[in-house]
Copies of this chain bind each other. A is one copy, B any other.
Amino acid sequence: MHFMSDNAASVHPNVWQAMLAADTPDSPYDGDALSAKLDEAFSEVFERPCWALWVASGTAANCLALATMVPPQGGVICHREAHIETSEGGAPGFYTHGAKLMLADGDGAKLTPTAIQGVIDPIKPGVHWVHPAAISITQATELGRVYTPAEVTEIGLLARDRTMWLHMDGARFGNAVAFLRSTPAKLTCDAGVHALSFGFVKNGGLGAEAIVFFDEGLADIARYRRKRAGHLQSKGRFLAAQILALLDGKLWLENAMAANEAAAIISQGAADRLLEPVEGNQLFVRMSGAEREALRGQGFAFYDHGPDGARMVTAWDSRPEHCTAMAEAIAAL
């Protein structure tokens, strides 16, 4: 019973089917018929023109997006717990040629306008200091929390006022949309987001994420940078196929809802132990080392979260009976 991470979940049958169907000769790289459909498909999702590029990983998606926004001498404001800061092996520094991550704090790994201004305000004008050129927020956050449309909008307005770009790391964007019962547009372009890393790998895909740009100029740069980073795969049609399969009939949303529901089941057994509200498919549960040991002894797999906590993540394919078992096991501790 595996609740380690959604990033190793299984691949949705529709995705397999679409990939197999794509195995006919077509032009290489992104010159194929499927890749050509992406812009339109995402424009429909986001209810306005947008430009989308497939890449193989969330790290590549985030860092390519940021590299289009931030000059090497600039900076990116992000949360201290942001994936780009904590878990990407220095990839932002690589892709941006040394731009600086400028860290802010906030509950639930969420940034607020106040926290962002707390980073900006002490920076004096002039060349001795790095000036931020972008803000990056994660939706849902690394602690499983979501930004409401209003919260994103507030940050979007701040970005606009300060002439900064706004990037959203949406490795679990589907889970946030599902939880909020909002629309993709309201959480991104309508709220001032310029580029979104739209995650599919954790949500039924195999090896394809999308960078969705709401600014054509950024997308144009990104295409060159993607090739330059070795991320323009020659059989790109198989990446496009995955994404289109997950967009088709909003399968991405259906999968995300399934994952969220699985998490909700577990949370019922852990209500009094939750370190963070469960707003998607991640649970952070107060739990001693002995308790974790006990659960693992019963066949449950999950990560530690600090010395006295556990992190459990559900996926589109989490089986309800496993979740119920986990809930009961936690309740029984």
Residues of A bordering B, CB below 8 Å: 2, 4-5, 7-11, 16, 19-20, 23-29, 32, 55-61, 63-64, 71-75, 86-100, 127-130, 201-202, 206-207, 221, 223-235, 238-239
Contacts and interface: CB of A to CB of B under 8 A. Distances in A.
Number of copies: 4
A72 B71 CA distance: 10
The 5 A-B pairs at the shortest CB distance, nearest first, are namely A93-B98, A60-B230, A89-B227, A7-B234, A59-B230
B128 A88 contact: yes
Nearest to A101: B100
Contacts of A88: 128, 227-228, 230
B227 A229 contact: no
A4 B23 CA distance: 16
Nearest to A28: B8
Contact of A89 (B71, B202, B224, B233): B224
B23 A10 contact: yes
A89 B10 contact: no
Contact of A87 (B60, B75, B95, B128): B128
A61 B4 CA distance: 30
9 contacts: A16-B23, A56-B207, A73-B90, A93-B99, A94-B97, A127-B224, A128-B227, A201-B235, A207-B238
A229 B75 CA distance: 16
Contact of A73 (B86, B96, B127, B228): B228
A129 B89 contact: yes
A71 B225 CA distance: 10
A231 B230 contact: yes
Contact of A57 (B10, B26, B75, B231): B231
A87 B129 contact: yes
Nearest to A96: B98
A25 B8 contact: yes
A93 to B, nearest CB: 3
B57 A233 contact: yes
Contacts of A97: 72, 93-94, 97-98
Contacts of A63: 230
Contacts of A99: 90, 93
